Structure formats: structure tokens, C-alpha cells
Structure 1
Amino acid sequence: MKKKSVVYIRTSSETNIGREKDSEGRQRKICTTFARQNKFEVVKEFADVYSGKITVLDRHGFKQLYRYCEEESVRDVIFENVTRFARDVVEMEVAFRFLKERGFILHSASHDIGFEEDAETEFMRQMLGAFAEYERKKIALRLQSGRISKGIINKQKGVLVLNGKKGKVEGRKSYRELDTELVALARKLRRKNWKTGKRRSLQVIADMLHESGYCNSNGNPYGTGEISRMLKQ
């Protein structure tokens, strides 16, 4: 009889999610292959769109995973590799021990790390966690450098950005590029009422978008500042 398990997927950007996106698809394939080879039945999948610096126990999707597993008595959690779970050494150990004390068993489908208590495995786990943390910081530095360079080039070219200033764009995709339907709906909600001539406030629009299932990359309702930027696109 197959043991029940859940799959956990984490991507660091909204551009990496969706059935056709490489990151999510790759993680799903690796995890389901691992489950099949090790006679696990995947009963549910959970996902987060968070950068690695958000601790795993604070992620919305992982919280849902935890609640589901507690309610359904599922204890095996499968993820692609250690970076999907945590990039920080201390965070990894804290989360691992918290879950282990509650009977959870963690499985890295890439076999890059073990979650046993022996000294050698713990040492390897900490080494891999330190390397993952280093990689995260290196990527963040590279992205920051690219954004600064992009801003300088835009300023030299006199490119105007959403707030009317020059050269502030740093390579980040606009809301329209990420979700055209979201921007279109926000604009529609902002239109004047044909009877009263009044417009909905930015806060009301944010609330209505959230009720329609739209939220930011942290899983929270859009703020009024974000709504304002959408409307300028």
C-alpha cells in the first residue's frame, strides 16, 4: 500500500508560475517521479511564490500544507531540493526540527540532502544550507547590479517611467507584462460612475480585486500604491 504524501513547490517570481512555466513544471516532474519510484501517493500539491529569504514556516502555501497534513494525517513532504525548502542554515534547522517533532518526514527528490539526526547528515545539511544561502545572496547582488545599470542607461536615454521621473526603471516587469487581465480589471473598476460621476477609491478597488482572487506575490491584497501604479500602465 502506498504512503500518502504531499508535494511542495516554491518559485521566487510570479513569472515562474503556471502549468507551462519551466520552474514549476520541473519541480513537479522531479517530485512526482520521486514519489512514483519510492511508492508514495501524492494526494495534494502546495505552492508558494516567495523568495528564499522568506522563512518556510512563514510562507502562506507551506502553512496550508501544514494544516492539511495535520487534518488528514499525512506526514511525508516531498520537494525538489534543499533550496525549495530553505536557503538559510539556521532557518532550515529550526524548520526541520519543528516538523520532525510533529512527526513529519521531509524528502528531497534530488537526494541532495538528508534529514536524519546523525552528526554527518546534520553537517552536510548545514554545509548545503550555507552554500544555498551564498547562492541566494550572489543572485540578489547580480540582479541589483543589473537594475542599477538599467537605471543609468534609461537616465542617459531620457526614458520616462511610471512616476514621470527619468531613469528609475531597473529591469522589473510591469503589472501589465505580468497580468494584463489584472490591469484591465483595475482600470475598469476605476472608471467614473455614469450616474454620479464619481470614481471608486484605490482602497475599494484593492478590496474588490482581492475578493476576485487577485493578490500580490506575498499572497496579500494589493496596496493602494500598487493599484495606483497599475492604473498608470
Structure 2
Amino acid sequence: MTTNKDCLIYMRTSSMTNSKGDSVKRQKSSIMKWVNDNGYNVKGEYWDIESGKMDTMERTEFMKMISDSERLGINVLVFSDQSRLSRDIIVQESTFRLLSSRGYSLISSENPNSFIEDTPTSNLIRQILGSFCEFDRSSTVNKLRVSRIRKRESNREKGIVTRNRTGKYEGRLRWIEIHPELESLILKLRKKGFSLRKISNLLKDEYGYKVSFVSVGNILKDIDWMKKEKRRMKRLETV
């Protein structure tokens, strides 16, 4: 049985990378604070991993929430802020008007009054708040981009570089970064004249490492390349 104090909550992240971070936790924490402070009961949680610019009516979880709300007779939908509904002002406003016309109450836990009134003033405030959310996101993305560039430059000076000799900051770790002991082991086997495929088989059968012969070749290239990089760094230190 549903009551007028029942609600459904909605969260959105733009990618799987964000989904593994604290974005969802922050959204849910904000939502649940509002829910508890106002005595509501959560009857369903919905989470989309979609771009904020995608039309809400094309999001799987959002549409499931609307379908469930009609089935359960719940018309209160709660999300953390306007950007979770949409980062596009037009999509945000059109979604608000469509759902409001169907009797839904949209609640932003961080700005509870932003979707309650439908007056010229509240419309302006709602759109400004949505713009600020988008500005904040863009600013954060830009700061992270600048931070990555600085980190790459710093790592380049320290000799922590990619095969293209650019500063390494992110991406998958190399085999010898995960298992440093492989360097001496593979070099020892290579000095015995074993082929890459033979080394791969020996690593698996005798040492328990599942390394393809292609990866063995890449590891040898990395070892040679890292030695050259260390020599280059030493030359720079003496200049």
C-alpha cells in the first residue's frame, strides 16, 4: 500500500568511471537526508549511466521509474540536483513541464524549492541553478584536465613515461609494473636463448605467470626502453 509520503529516487552518472567513484554515494547521501528530514519512504531506486545531455525519455532507468510510479501510484520523484535530471536546460525544463502536467512532484534534495513553483521567477531561478550545475561540472573537468597535464609533465621529468616518451599518468599498468620480478626472470630465460613462445610457456608451467608470447616481447621492449630512459635521465643530471 502506498501513501502520500512515498517516493522514488533517481541518480545518474555519465560513465562507468564515475560509477566507480563517489558520485552515486554523494547523490544518494543528499537524497536520503532530504527523505529522512521530510518523513518520506523510498519505494524504489533508479540509476542511469548516461550522458546528462541525453533526453530523459530515452534513459532506461528513468523510464522504468516513470512506469513504476504509475503502477504504484507514487508521484514524488527525488534526485540530488537539476543536473541529475539533465545538464541540458531545454531537456531539463521540458521534462519538468511534462511531468508536472501529469501530476508529478519533482524534488531536488539540494534545492528543494526549485521544482515546486511554476512562476516566471521560479523558472528563472531553476534555469540559473541548472546552469550553475553545468558550469561547476565543466570547471571540475577542466581542472582535472590541467592536473593530468601537469602530472604528465612532472612524470616526464622523473622518467616515468609511455613508450611514446610522453609523461605517463593514467592507463593500464605494464606487466613489470605489476610484477617487477618478471624483469630479471625473463632476462635470464632470454639469455639462455629461449624463444618468446618458449619463455611464455615456461612462465606459465614453472612460475605460474600467464603471460602471452606477445606480452613477453613487449616486456623485453619495455626493459630495454626503460634502461635507455634511465641513461637519458642520468645524462640530464650531469648537464
TM interval, shorter chain, is: 0.5 to 0.7
**Which one has a bigger Cα radius of gyration?**
2
Which whole-Å CA distance do the structure 2 matches of 1:34 and 1:51 have between them?
25
**CA RMSD across the alignment:** 3.3
Q: Which runs of 4+ in 1 moved over 6 A?
A: none
In structure 1, the residue matched to 2:127 is 126
Displacement of 1:29 in angstroms is 3.2
Is the 2:4–2:74 contact (alpha carbons within 8 Å) kept by the matching residues of 1?
no
- Could you say what secondary structure the match of 1:167 adopts? coil
Change in CA separation of 1:123 and 1:160 when aligned onto 2, cut-off 3 Å: same
Report the more deviating stretch, 59-68 or 93-102.
Answer: 59-68
Displacement of 1:128 in angstroms is 0.8
Change in CA separation of 1:70 and 1:160 when aligned onto 2, cut-off 3 Å: farther
In structure 2, the residue matched to 1:216 is none
Matched positions, count? 172
In structure 2, the residue matched to 1:31 is 31
In structure 2, the residue matched to 1:67 is 67
- Could you say what secondary structure the match of 1:45 adopts? strand
Deviations 1:40-60 (A, max 9, x none): 321110113345444544433
Is the 1:48–1:61 contact (alpha carbons within 8 Å) kept by the matching residues of 2?
yes
In structure 2, the residue matched to 1:96 is 96
Displacement of 1:77 in angstroms is 0.5
Displacement of 1:137 in angstroms is 1.9
- Could you say what secondary structure the match of 1:139 adopts? helix
Displacement of 1:172 in angstroms is 4.4
In structure 2, the residue matched to 1:165 is 164
Which whole-Å CA distance do the structure 2 matches of 1:175 and 1:31 have between them?
37
TM-score (norm 1): 0.59
More helix per residue: 2
Change in CA separation of 1:124 and 1:17 when aligned onto 2, cut-off 3 Å: same
TM-score (norm 2): 0.58
In structure 2, the residue matched to 1:148 is 149
Deviations 1:183-205 (A, max 9, x none): xxxxxxxxxxxxxxxxxxxxxxx
Change in CA separation of 1:113 and 1:167 when aligned onto 2, cut-off 3 Å: farther
Displacement of 1:74 in angstroms is 2.5
| Percent identity over paired residues | 30
Is the 2:8–2:45 contact (alpha carbons within 8 Å) kept by the matching residues of 1?
yes
Change in CA separation of 1:75 and 1:148 when aligned onto 2, cut-off 3 Å: same
